[in-house]
Structure 1
Amino acid sequence: MKRLIALAAFLPLSACGEQPAGEPVVRTEIGSGVAEKAAAPSPTPTPTSSVASACESVTFEGAALTHCLADPATHRITTKLGPTGGAPYRSLTKLAADRSDDAPKVAFAMNGGMYDGEGKPIGYYVENGDRLKELNRADGPGNFHMKPNGVFFGTGGKWQIRTADDFYTNVGERPDFGTQSGPMLVIDGELHPEISENGPSKAIRNGVGIDAKGRAHFVISEGPVSFGIIARYFRDVLETPDALFLDGSVSALWDPATDRLDNRAPIGPMIVVEHKDEP
């Protein structure tokens, strides 16, 4: 398939802007009737590397999406918040600039979980085996608390998505990486019960799902879409039994193979997919 990736641009909502330190950034709830501002498309980048991109452009129900595939046979997944002992990067651009020449090559990276006004995760977060934030099972407003929410986590080449309650009950060992977000998009092959077919809330959105082969599928929309569209793409096309919403309006992708590096609104935790070996 010809891999052409449109650069998704977006405008931050006032609800997604900087908040007082420690206060969670609230996202618009599913079906609230509040539509996020539309984002203008950006120019399409051209491939700049001899390495094939792990991402491809697709169309589903009339919506332009970018689908990136991480395979445990060839990739490893890590989470990244900021430099060791430092404040969160808040952008993929700063993450890219801080990568050393001898670091593993990045296949792609996305924002990966909701955060407070300082860019720190509001839910479970593990980086390099260190737990920086405990599991959050509290009630509250916004998409994060549209239960069930869930955790994307893994150790080595085994990657999983579980609802927060399932994770709390059944996961005893700390994973190498983990990030909590919400809501779940697909749960055991069924859509989240509160996701409507094509609700009024539209935003650039991204999510992750795990297929039966253990591969991680990352999807980001190239324009504002409903929760229903992105959830059905995971269920019906990618056939991921479980999929997790990562965020909306601030969603961003770094794809080095095509020189795509989204940089619009401040973000928090990031999911980095690396090549296991030098290509």
Structure 2
Amino acid sequence: MHWLSMLLGLVSLGAATPAVAGACMQLDHDGNRYTVCEVVAGRDDLRMWLTAPDGAVFGSFDRVNASLADQGLRLGFAMNAGMYHSDRSPVGLYRDPDGAAGDLVTSAGPGNFGLLPNGVFCIAGDRFQVVESRIFSREQPECDYATQSGPMLVIDGDLHPRFLVDATSRYVRNGVGVSEDGSRAWFAISERRVTFHEFGRLFRDGLGTPNALYFDGNISRLHAPDLRRNDWGLPLGPIVGTVVPIDDQSPGG
């Protein structure tokens, strides 16, 4: 589904249409409100961060921004990008141009991460992918950046089989979905507590993504300057976001 078509179906009355790809805006779906940021492959500079040059985990949007400022850059938008241990090391695989951390986890385990199937979000040049972890292990796709999380929200057009319509577990949740051709990715965070089933339906039915991946539901946070938003809290593990020049004041930039 094209971004404009999605807007016509979901946007609240009075909401502004984004001027450029990569802008974040609020959307309503099935009675819940979400903030969704669209990224276009080959046009928007999407990256991930974990370890700073000093060897410490970045841990916050502000620390990433401070590092980028030395290059005349800043975050366009950003959010946490996967689960992590108490030392903020990733629970599963993480990869960026500076190296890799964590091991790919393909076996079932406790918590949401181990609720198979889980998956990997991969940034590869001018293409995005959400790949089921066992397929990722078998095919070993090339990724400039990669982060593993779980569970998958949407798998080849179907909701995760363990999601229940009448579930009672509700959290503020965030995740990512990718268009069928890999040219676009949508990052979403709920504005109030939602179930897995509700969050999965946003990606499958609202955004039309055949594959989508859950990031987290306990520490979900968003940095979106065009919405005057910079969520704060306990230190983060992996972070994903767009990079723009400091003097770029356009929406999403």
Taking structure 2 as the reference length, what is the TM-score of the superposition?
0.84
Shift in Å at residue 77 of structure 1? 1.7
Match of residue 113, structure 2, among 141, 144, 156: 144
Match runs of 1:7-18 below 5 Å: none
Cross-structure match for 2:188: 219
Partner amino acid, structure 2, of 1:189: G
For residue 144 of structure 1, give the secondary structure of its aligned residue in structure 2: coil
Match of residue 246, structure 1, among 206, 212, 215: 215
Q: Deviations over 1:210-234 (max 9, x none)?
A: 0124200000001111111110010
Partner amino acid, structure 2, of 1:250: I
Match of residue 234, structure 1, among 203, 216, 220: 203
Match of residue 127, structure 1, among 81, 96, 111: 96
Whole-Å Cα distance in 2 between the matches of residues 52 and 85 of structure 1? 33
Cross-structure match for 2:237: 268
| Distance of aligned partners of 1:278 and 1:168 in 2 relative to their CA distance in 1, 3 Å threshold | farther
Cross-structure match for 1:186: 154
Cross-structure match for 2:44: 75
Shift in Å at residue 99 of structure 1? 2.7
Match of residue 156, structure 1, among 125, 139, 145: 125
Taking structure 1 as the reference length, what is the TM-score of the superposition?
0.77
Whole-Å Cα distance in 2 between the matches of residues 251 and 135 of structure 1? 22
Cross-structure match for 2:78: 109
Whole-Å Cα distance in 2 between the matches of residues 270 and 262 of structure 1? 13
Cross-structure match for 2:4: none
Q: Which runs of 5+ in 1 are unaligned?
A: 5-49
Count of aligned pairs: 233
Matched, 1:64 2:33: yes
| Distance of aligned partners of 1:155 and 1:172 in 2 relative to their CA distance in 1, 3 Å threshold | closer
Match of residue 67, structure 2, among 89, 98, 101: 98
Cross-structure match for 1:27: none
Shift in Å at residue 258 of structure 1? 2.9
**Percent sequence identity over matched residues?**
37
Shift in Å at residue 185 of structure 1? 0.3
CA RMSD of aligned residues (A): 2.3
Cross-structure match for 1:257: 226
Q: Deviations over 1:166-209 (max 9, x none)?
A: 10111254x11000000000000000000111411100000100
Q: Deviations over 1:121-178 (max 9, x none)?
A: 01010012622222122332000000000000122111101110010111254x1100
Whole-Å Cα distance in 2 between the matches of residues 261 and 242 of structure 1? 27
